Chain A
């Protein structure tokens, strides 16, 4: 009987502890997601030049395990004007969020810092195919993510669209990057490590 009595004492001891559960929909009482949390993918907005980072190169579309994305590329009219460094820009982009398995492979393979896993994970819609997100919805998700986390591009000198912003960066960062010690190889994302793609 002693084992039983010890069990009773264990449960009695738990009664006076604070509860470990959160009451979900209440915004003050729910669990906050971590910084690295992988929610649904979102397209990021280049505020320096007021256009998306995405150029429509389709690498993410090919790399997706569930083939949930489709995209269309177009010539960037602003490149002809000279106001953008991007030759091509995205025209349409669709992600079927029902099929996305939030594996973040698209983020790994993207060369333009254009796509990132946002913190969106709640996805209830009233329409049956309401989870198919178009370019504008993805850009909105991306802007929300950028404002919440203060996201900065990993390779701004290569990927920013406005030539003035890049020049300013080079001038300011030129001294800074000389002082900074070379980053250890392990600190970069795996997409940038290694020889060729």
Chain B
């Protein structure tokens, strides 16, 4: 490694960090505004025009808050947990290309590297839950471990399906393979599995049981305040951006699809803009899902993964393999994917019966139940029911 290469990598890393920080700040603002619009309100408006400086205010607030460590917490693990959660989020970005030439280090086993590193963040959550010396944190941490591990398998298999289609694990090759048809058109099932598994990996609604605000009040993060918590939030938003970027790269054609001019600096800037536009679209969908849905219970979450997503992802790989081995047209894969998605949706929908059967509440008219007019009050000189109150009870003022 020459000194020039070291300088190149160092500058690239710094640039990547700056880019990610800007993105995270933009994402916090965007999330609050999107949720506010869904809820028919305005979101941040005061700090800067339409609240655009709100993330800076948030950062300043979090940095200046007191960092409280519970006295019975395991101090080293308590300090290690945010780092263990945050580092894998950053390490992933070494190999994710934002455009053909904008990648820190393009590996030919890129997808393998991504999947392997992303598993490491589970350790951060487990450490946070354990070291906080708080029962709610422990519960949240254990739930997080269970959920994240359950969803690794569909995640890996969905990525594998794309790798089979592209015949490579290199991300730039995957995008190049989509120059005619994005993989969403060929493998819609893969997109569904990837998005569901990705949402669960992120810990976002409907899979955010481990830091559900209404039950375990923050889960593993409950004892963290100030800058510590900021690191967790930073990692979560970086992960959100990562999953969205991966969705775009693997399924939506990256920076290529549809046609994109291939040469020069213009190509780089245009493709970067196109890539970012698609990524933000996916992020908006993620926020939209967050605003709409309730969350699943932990056992329902895990059973959804093991009983629905894992068979579906095996089916995905099977269909992809059949189509590739027998060299059938890609449209066969589309049809098979859509059929299995429809079958899965129908089974999920039909679990509770059709809309008529779900409604177990019947409205009875009051005539049917025999509503009568109110009883007239008795005439004033009728004797009252019960004994009259005693005279002279302690604390009782006598009637005037």
Contact = CB atoms under 8 A, between A and B. Distances in A.
In the complex, are there CB atoms of A and B closer than 8 Å? yes
A32 to B, nearest CB: 19
A3 B42 CA distance: 27
Nearest to A20: B40
A1 B349 contact: yes
Interface in A132-153: none
Given A1-B349, A14-B40, A17-B40, A8 B288 contact: yes
A1 B291 contact: no
A: interface residue count bin: 10 to 19
Interface secondary structure of A, over-half rule:
helix
A157 to B, nearest CB: 32
B38 interface: yes
Interface in B284-306: 288-289, 291-293
Contact of B349 (A2, A19, A21): A2
Nearest to B342: A1
Contact of B42 (A7, A14, A15, A21): A21
B348 interface: yes
B40 A4 contact: no
A7 B206 CA distance: 13
Given A1-B349, A2-B349, A15 B37 contact: yes
A19 B292 contact: no
B288 A12 contact: yes
Contact of B291 (A4, A11, A23): A11
A8 B349 contact: no
Contacts of A8: 288-289, 292
Interface string B209-240: 00000000000000000000000000000000
A20 B37 CA distance: 10
Nearest to A1: B345
B76 interface: no
B39 interface: yes
B45 interface: yes
Contacts of A10: 292
Contacts of A4: 292-293
A19 B38 CA distance: 10
Interface string B264-301: 00000000000000000000000011011100000000
B293 A7 contact: yes
Given A8-B289, A11-B292, A14-B37, 19 more contacts: A1-B349, A3-B349, A4-B292, A4-B293, A7-B293, A8-B292, A11-B291, A12-B288, A14-B39, A14-B40, A15-B38, A18-B40, A19-B36, A19-B42, A20-B41, A21-B41, A21-B42, A23-B42, A23-B46
15 contacts: A1-B349, A2-B349, A3-B349, A4-B293, A7-B293, A11-B291, A12-B288, A14-B39, A19-B36, A19-B41, A19-B42, A20-B40, A21-B40, A21-B41, A23-B42
Interface of A: 1-4, 7-8, 10-12, 14-15, 17-21, 23
Interface of B: 36-42, 45-46, 288-289, 291-293, 345, 348-349
